[in-house]
Amino acid sequence: MPFENMSPDARLAVAAAQAGAAVVRGMYGTTQAKYGKGGGDFATAADLEAERTIVDLIRTARPDDAVTGRRAGVPAGTARTACGWSIPCAAR
């Protein structure tokens, strides 16, 4: 579906994903700090910065929506709308 034919929420989701991907691409090939999450799982500095970028973009555009993230454990906050956003982690 062409971007211009998407709903405003779909366009926001695509823009947020592209912004997060740009962060990861910019940090690709650099030495990354790893942050243990338990059970052998970890997040890298790129993971955390990408998630932060995505969350910031969504919260700026939709400040009344709940947003949760998997990497940094972004708290949901109090949603004043029925809409919520969940930021999944990327597969390695």
Mind giving me the DSSP string for the chain?
--GGGS-HHHHHHHHHHHHHHHHHHHHTTS---EEEEETTEEEEHHHHHHHHHHHHHHHHH-TTSEEEESSS-------SSS-EEEEPPPP-
| 3-87 CATH pick, 3.90.1200.10, 3.90.950.20, 3.40.309.10, 3.30.540.10 | 3.30.540.10
What confidence tens digit (pLDDT) does each residue in 17-66 have? Answer: 999 999 999 999 998 888 877 787 788 889 889 989 999 999 899 988 88
State yes or no: pLDDT of 69 exceeds 50.
yes
Please give the model's pTM, rounded to 2 decimal places: 0.77
Q: How do 41-44 and 66-69 pair as beta strands?
A: unpaired
| Contact (CB, 8 A) for 37 and 43 | yes
